Amino acid sequence: MSDNLSENKCEACSIDAQALTEQEISEFLPQIPSWIVHEEEGINRLICSFAFPNYEHSVNFTKLVAKLAEEEDHHPEIVLEWGNVTVSWWSHKIKGLHRNDFICASKTDDLFKNL
């Protein structure tokens, strides 16, 4: 497994998988500095908003994130607005954060950087 998150592939996450500890989260966060951990309904999520000059660019980025989600078989919440896309990654089965979420967040950053 690579130290560079975006070079990894999501692994199947079972309901008995362990959510990351606060220590593990704090070790991964520096690799995705634009993202924050936000607790909603008792569940930690990784959230980042991406700005765009218009709606069409926002839609195109949303499509890229959706394609990534299908490739990784890990699906985020995506909020599409004029000039803005907010992406939230978390692992539904374990109701928290898994390494997969950090991998996908890093790959989401790569999509944005390569536009």
Domain coordinates in residue numbering, the chain: 19-113
Mean pLDDT taken over the chain? 95
State the CATH class of domain 19-113. Answer: alpha beta
Tens-digit pLDDT profile for residues 34-71: 999 999 999 999 999 999 999 999 999 999 999 999 99
Instruction: Give me the sign of the Cα torsion angle 104, 110, 114, 115.
Output: positive
Question: What pLDDT is recorded for position 1?
Answer: 64
Question: What pLDDT is recorded for position 13?
Answer: 77
Instruction: Give the global pTM.
Output: 0.94
Question: What pLDDT is recorded for position 96?
Answer: 96
pLDDT > 70: percent of the chain: 98
Backbone angles phi, psi at 109, to 5 degrees: -60, -40
Q: Are 100 and 74 in contact (CB under 8 A)?
A: yes
Strand partners, 96: 91
Question: What pLDDT is recorded for position 9?
Answer: 85
Rounded to whole angstroms, the Cα distance separating 41 from 63 reads: 27
Rounded to whole angstroms, the Cα distance separating 115 from 9 reads: 21
Backbone angles phi, psi at 80, to 5 degrees: -100, 125
Mean pLDDT of 3-22: 86
